[in-house]
Amino acid sequence: MPVNLIENNIEYGEVKYEWDFPEFVPYERGKWWYVIAGIVIAGFIVFAITTLNLLFGILVIMVSMVLFYLQNRHPKILNVKFTDMGMVIENLFYSYDEIRSFWIVSDNEEGNNVYFEFQSFSIPRLSIPFIDIDPVRLQAYLAQFIDIDPEREGTPLSETFARWLRL
């Protein structure tokens, strides 16, 4: 699990790479996106009512509220540092031992991204975009500490699907 640097005075090593990135990518959604989303949500709620599935109806409403909240929020700019001991994102330190593997996708439509899979299944996959850094050098540096995932070459399907739906 990540260690909070504010609560624990930990030395995290010499910084080799550092940059800022947005917490998430905000997508522009037109009027038709909201019309279609409203129809889909209404359809799910009608389905939940007709099948007497209260839990599904509550889940649909909660997901709708989260999407509305995220739409009206600007992404926070986060700072990432890669050191010889681990990765620091804002005030959280991730030891390289906590990371199972990584891979880099460069020159996709959103720019370059480095993806991290963690040892713990409770920590979701992490995607960090970057622009002004050589992907080959970054990969060579990280490969000293973390295994490169040989099966992963492109953007994960879940991220492509979310981008396509503008979520």
Backbone phi, psi, residue 7, to 5°:
-80, -30
Query: What mean pLDDT value characterizes the chain?
Result: 88
pLDDT tens-digit map of 50-77: 999 999 999 999 999 988 887 778 889 9
**Could you tell me whether strands 92-95 and 86-89 are parallel, antiparallel, or unpaired per DSSP bridges?**
antiparallel
CA 77 to chain centre: 13
Structure tokens at 32: 């038709």
Residues ≥6 apart with Cβ < 8 Å to 147: 100, 101, 102
Structure pTM?
0.82
* Rg value, the chain, Cα: 19
Average pLDDT over residues 14-31: 88
